[in-house]
Amino acid sequence: MADEDHERPAPSDLAEEAGRSFAGMSLDDVKDHAFWETQPVGQLKPELDKSGPEGPIDDPMTVDEVKKEGYHLPPSFEWCTCDVTDKKVNDEVFELLDNNYVEDDDAMFRFQYSREFLKWVLQPPGYVKDWHLGVRVVGTGKLVAFITGVPAKLSVKGKKLDLAEINFLCIHKKLRSKRLAPMLIREITRRINLSGIWQAAYTAGVVLPKPIGTARYWHRSLNVKKLVEIGFTHLHSRMTMSQTIKFFRLDKKPATPGIRPMEDKDVPAVTALLNNYLKKFAVAPVFDEEETRHHLSMRDGVVYSYVVEDPDKPGKITDFVSFYSLPSTVIQSSGGHSTLRAAYSYYNVAGKADLTRLMEDALILARQKDFDVFNCLDLMDNAQFLKDLKFGIGDGNLQYYLYNWRLHNKLGPGDIGLVLT
Amino acid sequence: MPSDAERLAGVGVAVAAVGLTTAASFYASRPGPKRWTRWLFVGGAAAAYGAYSLATWLEDQKNEAARGGDVRDALETRKKETHRGAVSSADVPSSSDEIRASDPEPPARRSQMDQLLDAVADGYDDDLDADFDRAAKFMASTTDLRLTNDQKLRVYALFKQATFGRCDQPKPRLLDGLARHAKWTAWNELGELSRDDAKEAYVELVAELRRRTEADEGGDGDGTAGDGDEGTAVDGEGDALGGLGGPVFSRPRMPFDVGDAEGDAEGGAEGGAESIGAMDPLLEACRRGDVESLRRAANFGPLDLRLADECGRTALHWAADGGHVQVATALIKMGADVDAVDDDGQTALHYAATCERAEMCRLLLESGADPDAEDADGDTPNALGAVGLAMRSPGAD
Ligand SMILES: CC(C)(COP(=O)(O)OP(=O)(O)OC[C@H]1O[C@@H](n2cnc3c(N)ncnc32)[C@H](O)[C@@H]1OP(=O)(O)O)[C@@H](O)C(=O)NCCC(=O)NCCS
Q: What CATH number is attached to the domain comprising A140?
A: 3.40.630.30
Nearest CA in chain A to B12: A2
- What's the distance, CA A278 to chain centroid? 18
Contact B259, B253 (CB under 8 A): no
Specify whether B168 is located in the same domain as B227: yes
* CB within 8 Å of chain B, chain A residues 342-361: none
Backbone angles phi, psi at B369, to 5 degrees: -65, 150
Is A395 within 8 Å of B27 when comparing Cβ atoms? Answer: no
Whether the CB of B321 is below 8 Å from some CB of chain A: the reply is yes
Cα(B107) to centroid(ligand 1), Å: 54
Q: Give B186's contacts (C-beta < 8 A, 6+ positions apart).
A: B18, B22, B153, B154, B156, B157
Q: Are A27 and A91 contained in the same domain?
A: yes
How confident is the model at residue B162, as a pLDDT?
A: 86
A344 strand-pairing partners: A324, A375
- What residues form DSSP beta bridges with B256? A235
Query: Is residue B245 less than 8 Å (CB to CB) from chain A?
Result: yes
Look up residue B155 and give its amino acid.
V
Q: Flag whether B334 is in a domain.
A: yes
* Residue nearest (by alpha carbon) to ligand 1 atom 14: A179
Question: Which pLDDT does position B128 carry in this prediction?
Answer: 81
Q: Which of B4, B276, B1, B270 lies closest to B125, judged by CA?
A: B276
Coil, helix or strand at residue B89? coil
| Chain B: closest CA distance from residue A278 (Å) | 22
Closest CA to A5 of B146, B211, B264, B260: B146
Q: Are B310 and B341 in contact (CB under 8 A)?
A: no
Q: Could you tell me if residue B242 is inside a domain?
A: no
- Beta carbon of A23 within 6 Å of any ligand 1 atom: no
CB contact under 8 A, B27 and A14: yes
**Position A16, amino acid:** E
User: Residue B321 is nearest to which of A173, A216, A242, comparing CB atoms?
Assistant: A242
- Tell me the residue range of the domain where B307 lies: 279-392
| A169 Cβ closer than 6 Å to some ligand 1 atom | yes
Both B80 and B15 in a single domain?
yes
Q: Is the dihedral of CA B100, B101, B106, B112 positive or negative?
A: negative
| Rounded Cα gap, residues B260 and A239, in angstroms | 11
Together in a domain, A209 and A246 = no
Nearest to B251 among A4, A30, A219 (CB): A219
Tell me, yes or no, whether A185 and A279 share the same domain.
Answer: no
Any domain includes A409: no
Q: Ligand 1 within 6 A of A420 CB? A: no
* Residue numbers of the domain that contains A208: 17-213
Q: Is B245 in the pocket of ligand 1 (CB under 6 A)?
A: yes
The mean pLDDT values, 10 residues at a time, for chain A of 421 residues are: 38 33 42 93 91 95 96 95 96 96 88 95 97 97 97 97 97 94 97 98 94 96 96 89 96 97 98 97 98 98 98 96 97 86 98 97 98 98 97 93 97 97 90
Same domain, B6 and B103: yes
Q: How far, in Å, is the centroid of ligand 1 from the Cα of A84?
A: 23
Query: CB of B205 within 8 A of CB of B137?
Result: no
Residue A3 belongs to some domain of the structure: no
- Distance CA(A417)–CA(A265), nearest Å, equals 25
Mutational test site, ligand 1, from A32, A208, A210, A329, max ligand atoms within 8 Å of CB: A208
User: What is the pLDDT at residue B206?
Assistant: 86
Q: Does A312 touch chain B (CB under 8 A)?
A: no
- SS3 string, chain A, reads CCCHHHCCCCCHHHHHHHHHHCCCCCCCCCCCCCCHHHCCCCCCCHHHCCCCCCECCCCCCCHHHCCCCCCCCCCCEEEEECCCCCHHHHHHHHHHHHHHCCECCCCCEEECCCHHHHHHHHCCCCCCHHHEEEEEECCCCCEEEEEEEEEEEEEECCEEEEEEEEEEEEECHHHCCCCHHHHHHHHHHHHHHHCCCCCEEEEECCCCCCCCEEEEEEEEECCHHHHHHCCCCCECCCCCHHHHHHHHCCCCCCCCCCEEECCHHHHHHHHHHHHHHHCCCCEEECCCHHHHHHHHCCECCCEEEEEEECCCCCCCEEEEEEEEECCEEEEEEECCEEEECEEEECCCECCCCCHHHHHHHHHHHHHHCCCCEEEEECCCCCHHHHCCCCCEEEEEEEEEEEECCECCCCECHHHECCCCC
- Which of A25, A219, A246 comes nearest B241 by C-beta? A25
A350 and A238 in a common domain: yes
Q: What is the pLDDT of residue B366?
A: 97
Q: Are residues B218 and B314 in the same domain?
A: no
Residue B310 per-residue DSSP state? T
Q: Is the CB of residue A420 less than 8 Å away from at least one CB of chain B?
A: yes
Domain at B342, CATH number: 1.25.40.20
DSSP strand pairing (A200-204 vs A159-171): parallel
Residue A408 belongs to some domain of the structure: no
- CA angle (A189, A144, A36) in 5-degree steps: 35
Q: Which residues of B touch A14 (CB under 8 A)?
A: 23-24, 27, 37
Residues B173 and B207 placed together within one structural domain of the fold: yes
What whole-number distance in Å separates Cα of residue A119 and Cα of residue A126? 14
Binding site membership of A34 for ligand 1 (Cβ less than 6 Å) = yes
The per-residue pLDDT for B285 is 93
Q: Omega into A159 within 30° of 0, i.e. cis?
A: no
Is the alpha carbon torsion for A196, A198, A202, A208 positive or negative?
A: positive
Residue A230 and residue A161 in one domain: no
For ligand 1, whether the C-beta of B244 sits within 6 Å is yes
Do the domain assignments include residue A5?
no
By most ligand atoms within 8 Å of CB, the mutation choice from B180, B241, B244, B248 for ligand 1 is: B244
The pLDDT, as a whole number, for residue B127 is 76
Closest CA to A304 of A368, A240, A355: A368
DSSP code of residue B337: -
Residues A233 and A108 in one domain: no
Q: To the nearest whole angstrom, how far is the Cα of B52 from the nearest Cα of chain A?
A: 13
Distance A106 CA to ligand 1 centre (A): 18
DSSP class of B252: B
The CATH number that applies at residue A360 is 3.40.630.170
A13, A166, A169, A238, best to mutate vs chain B, most B CBs in 10 Å: A238
What is the C-alpha separation between A239 and A262, in angstroms, rounded?
39
Q: How far apart are CA B21 and CA A344, in angstroms?
A: 40
B179 and A CB contact within 8 Å? yes
- Residue ending a domain, choose from A178, A193, A213: A213
Q: Give distance in angstroms: CA of B29 to centre of ligand 1.
A: 22
Within 8 A of B261 by CB-CB distance, chain A residues are 247, 387, 390
Q: Is A419 left (phi over 0), alpha (psi -120 to 50) or beta?
A: beta
Choose among B23, B279, B323: nearest Cβ to A237. Answer: B279
The one-digit pLDDT tens for each residue of chain B (397 residues) are: 444 555 555 454 545 545 444 444 444 444 444 444 444 444 445 555 555 555 544 444 444 444 333 333 333 433 433 333 333 333 333 333 332 333 333 334 434 444 444 444 443 456 787 788 888 877 776 656 667 777 888 888 888 888 878 887 777 766 666 677 788 888 888 888 888 888 888 888 888 888 777 666 543 333 333 233 332 222 333 333 333 334 789 998 887 766 555 544 433 333 344 445 678 889 999 999 999 999 999 998 889 999 999 999 999 999 999 999 999 999 999 999 999 999 999 999 999 999 999 999 999 999 999 999 999 999 999 999 999 999 998 765 5
Instruction: Classify residue A188: in a domain, yes or no.
Output: yes
Are residue A55 and residue A204 in the same domain, yes or no?
yes
**Could you tell me if A229 and A204 lie in one domain?**
no
Considering only the C-alpha atoms of chain B, give the largest distance between any 2 of them, rounded to a whole number of Å. 75
Please count the structural domains in chain A.
Answer: 2
Of A167, A191, A213, the residue that ends a domain is A213
Q: What pLDDT was estimated at residue B233?
A: 27
Q: Is residue B113 part of a domain?
A: no
What 3-state DSSP class applies to B262? helix
In a domain, A136, yes or no: yes
Predicted confidence at residue B126, as pLDDT, reads 62
Residues A105 and A250 occupy one common structural domain: no
Do B294 and B384 belong together in one domain? yes
Do the Cβ atoms of B162 and B232 come closer than 8 Å?
no
B304 and B213 within one domain? no
Are A237 and A293 in the same domain? yes
Does residue B155 share a domain with residue B99? no
Distance CA A68, CA B176 (A): 36
Q: Inter-chain contact B255–A236, Cβ cutoff 8 Å?
A: yes
pLDDT digits (tens, 9 = 90+) for A137-160: 999 999 999 999 999 999 999 999
Q: Which strand ranges, in their side-by-side order, compose the sheet holding A337-340?
A: A109-111, A328-334, A337-340
ipTM score of complex: 0.84
Does the C-beta of A181 come closer than 6 Å to ligand 1? yes
Mutate to test the interface with B, among A237, A249, A393 (most CBs of B within 10 A): A237
Q: How many structural domains compose chain B?
A: 3
Cβ(A176) to ligand 1 under 6 A?
yes
User: Which ligand 1 atom sits nearest the alpha carbon of residue A166?
Assistant: 48
Smallest Cα distance from A316 to chain B, Å: 35
Strands A373-377 and A342-345: parallel
Do A202 and A225 lie in one domain? The reply is: no
Whether A412 is in a domain gets the answer no
Q: Which amino acid is at B10?
A: G
Predicted confidence at residue B254, as pLDDT, reads: 81
Residues B313 and B368 reside in one and the same domain: yes
Q: In terms of domains, do B291 and B225 share one?
A: no
Q: Is A3 on the interface with B (CB under 8 A)?
A: yes
Does residue B118 lie in a domain region? Answer: no
So what's the pLDDT on residue B159? 87
Q: What is the DSSP letter of B251?
A: -
Report yes or no: A244 at the B interface, CB cutoff 8 Å.
yes
Contact A362, A382 (CB under 8 A): no
B189 has a chain A CB within 8 A of its CB? no
What residues contact B216, with CB distance under 8 A and at least 6 apart? B146, B222, B225
Instruction: Flag if B247 and A214 touch (Cβ within 8 Å).
Output: no
- The pLDDT, as a whole number, for residue B270 is 36
Residue A202 lies in a domain: yes
What is the predicted pLDDT for the residue at A227? 95
A residues 80-139 lying closer than 8 A (beta carbon) to B: 102-107, 109-111
Q: Label residue B184 left, alpha or beta by phi (over 0 means left) and psi (-120 to 50 means alpha).
A: alpha
Asked if the C-beta of B273 comes within 8 angstroms of chain A's C-beta atoms, the answer is yes
Q: Alpha helix (H) ranges present in chain B?
A: 5-29, 36-66, 71-80, 96-102, 107-121, 126-141, 149-164, 178-188, 195-219, 258-265, 281-288, 291-299, 315-322, 325-333, 348-354, 358-366, 386-392
How many contacts (CB atoms, under 8 Å) link A and B?
294
CA of B244 to the centre of ligand 1 (A): 6
Q: Of B51, B77, B107, which one is at a domain's C-terminal end?
A: B107
CA distances from A53 to A57, A139, A198 (A): 9, 49, 17
A155 and A24 in a common domain: yes
User: In 3-state terms, what secondary structure has residue B361?
Assistant: helix
Atom 24, ligand 1: residue with shortest CA distance: B245
Q: Same structural domain for residues B164 and B215?
A: yes
**Who's near B84: CB < 8 A, 6+ residues apart?**
B280, B282, B304, B307
The DSSP 8-state label assigned to residue B3 in this structure reads -
